[in-house]
């Protein structure tokens, strides 16, 4: 399996967010399953005005693309972002989605649209393409604050 990751910040992040907002269907999404969600704060993220969007495209060719745009983050901080295997309201989205539950806890077995680094305005974007079709339990994207024990600060349910 191959795994590609792209992080976008600054003016490019704003352009990407604008394009995602105005697009009627993602490029290459014909015949694909597209799910989207809005980011909101978890309790640990209280005090941050977190917003933004997440989108997952399960393409007909077997790939899965995840794109995120997040606002309200602490400028200059690099955050982890992962697809999770439970909705945001269930145990703060529980654990990471794993293509092979017995596999490794990193890509290419997991889908990580991060790390993402917030620009001076607190905006960050990320995109990744996994070389597999994400299963039905890939239902949310979580943003984690860095630290010795990374904290889940925001989540977007994909529906």
Domains contained in the chain, CATH given: 3-157 (2.60.40.200)
Of 99, 95, 106, 73, residue with least CA distance to 142? 95
Residue 33: count of CB within 10 angstroms of its CB: 14
- Do 93 and 142 contact (CB within 8 A), yes or no? yes
pLDDT confidence of residue 23: 41
- Sign of the alpha-carbon dihedral angle for 102, 106, 108, 111: positive
> Which tens digits make up the pLDDT trace of 28-87?
557 899 999 999 999 888 888 999 999 999 999 999 999 999 999 999 999 999 999 999
**pTM listed for this prediction:** 0.81
78, β-bridge pairs: 117
């Amino acid at each position: 399996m191959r795994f590609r990751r792209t992080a976008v910040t600054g003016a490019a992040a704003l352009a990407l967010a604008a394009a995602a907002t105005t697009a009627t269907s993602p490029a290459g999404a014909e015949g694909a399953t597209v799910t989207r969600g809005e980011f909101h704060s978890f309790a640990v993220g209280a005090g941050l005005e977190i917003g933004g969007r997440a989108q997952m495209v399960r393409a007909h060719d077997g790939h899965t693309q995840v794109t995120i745009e997040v606002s309200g983050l602490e400028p200059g901080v690099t955050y982890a972002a992962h697809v999770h295997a439970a909705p945001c309201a269930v145990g703060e989205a529980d654990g990471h989605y794993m293509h092979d539950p017995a596999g490794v806890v990193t890509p290419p077995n997991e889908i990580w649209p991060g790390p993402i680094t917030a620009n001076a305005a607190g905006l960050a974007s990320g995109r990744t393409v996994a070389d597999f079709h994400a299963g039905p339990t890939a239902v949310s994207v979580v943003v984690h604050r860095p630290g010795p024990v990374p904290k889940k600060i925001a989540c977007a349910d994909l529906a």
